[in-house]
């Protein structure tokens, strides 16, 4: 067999086969009008072309993803604006709700006391350094407000006006030592006067002084203004009795009274500009 591959006949046959194969390739090339070199290059680079097309498609998809992400962020921004708008409306609703509640209380006390004249005001400032929670209302002299006018929230006594400007007034609360009023306990009818003994912090106590050792006032009793003195009308609720104690300096007794309202929570209040008996000593 080895001698056959080395023989002259095999060499002639191999040469003829090579020539025949070259003719076939040339004929095919001429038929498709493409040169063998072109076909070879095409065969070699065709896979690269397919890879390039695949990468281009993927990049297009990624670009589409970026566009979607941008749209998503825009949508998030729009939703955040909507949430902020709803929160603002909710705040306005809560303010309106409190105002409605305040006016409902006002109508109730107005029906009970037709002689009262009122001016409404909203809290526009607080003195954070004041232990007695004074605040400022957006009503003043031009609204008929004057110094020593009582300030109420519903049927509860808040305090009195200490200073006015044409458009504002400063209110001292009932726990301020500068604010004193004649008072009585509604169940026993016992009379006395408030002598504020306020503590710093969250607890504030009003002293209802001038009681005797035989006082029948007990925990839970309600103390109101008596109307004596002509500054506060009768019947405004000051607070609830928490305890009764003897005075250290004499033989009298006093009741500790806790106000019925949280002064820090007041947003709207009414100033009583006139009432029957105002100014009567």
Return the structure tokens found at 24: 């076939």
Q: Per-residue pLDDT for 136 more than 70?
A: yes
Q: Which CATH architecture has domain 113-274?
A: Beta Barrel (2.40)
Distance CA 168, CA 81 (A): 35
Q: What pLDDT is recorded for position 240?
A: 95
Distance CA 204, CA 154 (A): 20
Q: Per-residue pLDDT for 59 more than 50?
A: yes
Rounded CA Rg of the chain: 48
User: Residues with Cβ < 8 Å from 141, sequence gap 6 or more?
Assistant: 164, 165, 166, 169
Please tell me the least confidently modeled range out of 109-113, 115-119, 231-235, 237-241: 109-113
Return the structure tokens found at 26: 């040339």
Strand runs labelled E in the chain? 117-126, 135-137, 150-153, 156-164, 169-173, 182-185, 191-198, 204-211, 222-225, 237-246, 253-259, 268-274
The closest of 150, 145, 135 to 165, measured between CA atoms, is: 145
User: What b/e readout covers 105-126, taking b as 16+ CB neighbours within 10 angstroms?
Assistant: bbeebeeebeebebbbbbbeee
Q: Other C-beta atoms within 10 Å of 243: how many?
A: 12
For residue range 218-255, list pLDDT tens digits in order.
999 999 999 999 999 999 999 999 999 998 888 889 99
End-to-end CA distance of the chain: 148
Q: Which residue has the tokens 């949280």?
A: 262
Q: Please, what is the average pLDDT of the chain?
A: 80
Please, which residues bridge with residue 150 across strands?
160
Is residue 273 within 8 A of residue 145, CB to CB? The reply is: yes
Strands 222-225 and 237-246: what pairing?
A: antiparallel
DSSP symbols for 91-138: HHHHHHHHHHHHHHHHHHHHHH-TT-EEEEEEEEEE-TT-TT--EEES
Q: Which residue has the tokens 């203004």?
A: 225
Greater pLDDT, 9 or 148: 148
Greater pLDDT, 34 or 162: 162
Domain ranges of the chain: 2-57, 113-274
Return the structure tokens found at 140: 């003043």
- Max distance between CA atoms of the chain, in angstroms, equals 152
Q: What pLDDT is recorded for position 202?
A: 45
User: What b/e readout covers 133-160, taking b as 16+ CB neighbours within 10 angstroms?
Assistant: bbbbbebbeebebeeebbbbbbbbbbbb
Q: What pLDDT is recorded for position 104?
A: 65
Distance CA 158, CA 243 (A): 21
The mean pLDDT value for 51-70 works out to 60
State the pTM of this model: 0.63
């Amino acid at each position: 067999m080895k001698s056959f591959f080395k023989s002259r006949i095999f060499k002639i046959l191999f040469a003829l086969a090579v020539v025949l194969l070259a003719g076939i390739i040339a004929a095919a090339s001429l038929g498709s009008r493409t040169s063998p070199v072109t076909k070879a290059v095409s065969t070699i680079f065709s896979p690269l072309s397919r890879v390039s097309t695949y990468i281009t498609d993927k990049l297009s998809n990624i670009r589409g993803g970026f566009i979607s992400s941008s749209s998503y962020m825009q949508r998030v921004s729009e939703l955040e604006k909507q949430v902020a708008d709803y929160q603002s409306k909710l705040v306005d609703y809560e303010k309106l709700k409190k105002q409605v509640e305040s006016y409902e209380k006002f109508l109730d006390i107005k029906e009970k006391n037709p002689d009262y004249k009122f001016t409404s005001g909203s809290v526009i400032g607080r003195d954070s350094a004041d232990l007695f929670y004074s605040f400022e209302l957006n009503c003043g002299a031009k609204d008929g407000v004057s110094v020593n006018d009582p300030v109420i929230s519903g049927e509860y006594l808040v305090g009195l006006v200490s200073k006015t400007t044409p458009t504002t007034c400063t209110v001292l609360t009932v726990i301020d030592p500068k604010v004193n009023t004649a008072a009585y306990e509604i169940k026993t009818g016992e009379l006395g006067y408030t002598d504020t003994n306020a503590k710093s912090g969250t607890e504030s106590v009003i002293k209802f002084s001038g009681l005797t050792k035989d006082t029948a006032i007990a925990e839970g009793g309600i103390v109101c203004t008596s109307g004596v003195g002509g500054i506060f009308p009768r019947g405004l609720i000051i607070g609830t009795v928490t305890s009764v104690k003897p005075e250290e300096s004499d033989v009298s007794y006093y009741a500790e009274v806790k106000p019925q309202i949280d002064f820090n929570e007041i947003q709207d209040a009414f100033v009583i500009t006139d009432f029957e008996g105002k100014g009567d000593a």
